Amino acid sequence: MIENSSRLQRKLKAAAYLLIAGLTVEVISLNWAHPTSFLLFIILGGVLVVAGILIYLIALVTA
């Protein structure tokens, strides 16, 4: 039980870090009107956010 809970916490923490990083990248890219900022938004920000959401969902399902 305790092991399960700590595994869940670990996954949530990983999801949190990924989401915070992804959202930070997204907000930075939105203040820059350049093609590179679009790539930054999609490739870096988008991927980090999607990865964070997936890890969160996996944590919920496997909890």
Partner 1 sequence: MANYAVATVIALSIILIGLLMLRPSITAAQGGKMVAFIAFFILPIVATVLGASIHLENSTSTQFCLSCHVMQTHGQSLYIDDPKYVPAAHFQNNRIPKDHACFTCHTDYTMFGDVNAKLRGLQHLYVYYFKPTPAKLALYEPFKNRECLHCHTNGRSYEESSPHKEMKDQLTSNEMSCLTCHSKIHDVANIDKTKKWKGPGA
CB atoms near residue 41 (< 10 Å): 19
Distance (Å) of CA 20 to CA 3, 5, 35, 44? 26, 22, 23, 12
Should residue 56 be labelled a site residue for partner 1 when binding is judged by CB under 8 A?
yes
Query: What is the per-residue binding string for partner 1 in 4-43, x denoting contact by CB under 8 A?
Result: -----x--xx-xx--xx-xxx-xx-xxx-xxx-xxx-xx-
Report the nearest approach of partner 1 to the CB of residue 26 (Å). 5
Residue type at position 14 = A
Measured CA to CA, the distance from residue 63 to residue 58 in angstroms comes to: 8
Binding site for partner 1 (CB under 8 A): 9, 12-13, 15-16, 19-20, 22-24, 26-27, 29-31, 33-35, 37-39, 41-42, 45-46, 49, 52-53, 56-57
